[in-house]
Amino acid sequence: MRTPYGQECRYYYADFNRGRNEQLCQLVEANPASEPWIPDVCKECPVPSIVRANACEHMQLRGRVVKGFLGFGRKMIIEAYCAKVQRKVDEPHVGCGECHGDSQIASLFNE
């Protein structure tokens, strides 16, 4: 679904049908340790760019909202985990480095 800032994000949900005003981020909803989410967090959120850059089916994202300096502003912190190699991913835009070597496209370049 398209966020209020024009990016496509699979974790954003909005329902304005028949007078409803419901917006939520499913990554934040799944993490009880997160600060409350507001739509302004979508402006600087790295999740849409991570999903565009890395479409690995084994990567699991976990997000939480943190308050900025002196409580002003909020931003999304993303943690990525690879379920295939069972380890934390340091750079979610790139991936773990293990999964993509198995793909058919990667085998074309290795020949």
User: pLDDT tens digits for 26-76?
Assistant: 999 999 999 999 999 999 999 999 999 988 899 999 999 999 888 888 999
Residue 3 lies in a domain: no
Mean pLDDT to the nearest integer, 95-111: 67
pLDDT above 60 (res 106): no
Residue 42 lies in a domain: yes
Residue 17 lies in a domain: yes
Which of 48, 45, 42, 59 has its CA nearest to residue 94? 59
pLDDT band, residue 105 (cuts 50/70/90): low
pLDDT band, residue 79 (cuts 50/70/90): very high
Distance, in Å, from the CA atom of 60 to the CA atom of 110, rounded to the nearest integer, reads 27
Residue 5 lies in a domain: no
pLDDT for residue 104: 60
> Do the Cβ atoms of 8 and 48 come closer than 8 Å?
yes
**Torsion from C-alpha of 90, 91, 96, 99, nearest 10 degrees:** 160
pLDDT above 90 (res 110): no
Residue 29 lies in a domain: yes
pLDDT above 70 (res 107): no
pLDDT above 80 (res 97): yes
Residue 43 lies in a domain: yes
Residue 31 lies in a domain: yes
Domain region containing 65: 12-110
Which of 39, 102, 21, 23 has its CA nearest to residue 76? 39
Residue 55 lies in a domain: yes
Q: How many domains does the chain have?
A: 1
Distance, in Å, from the CA atom of 25 to the CA atom of 56, rounded to the nearest integer, reads 21
Per residue in 11-30, pLDDT (tens digit) is: 999 999 988 889 999 999 99
Distance, in Å, from the CA atom of 111 to the CA atom of 100, rounded to the nearest integer, reads 16
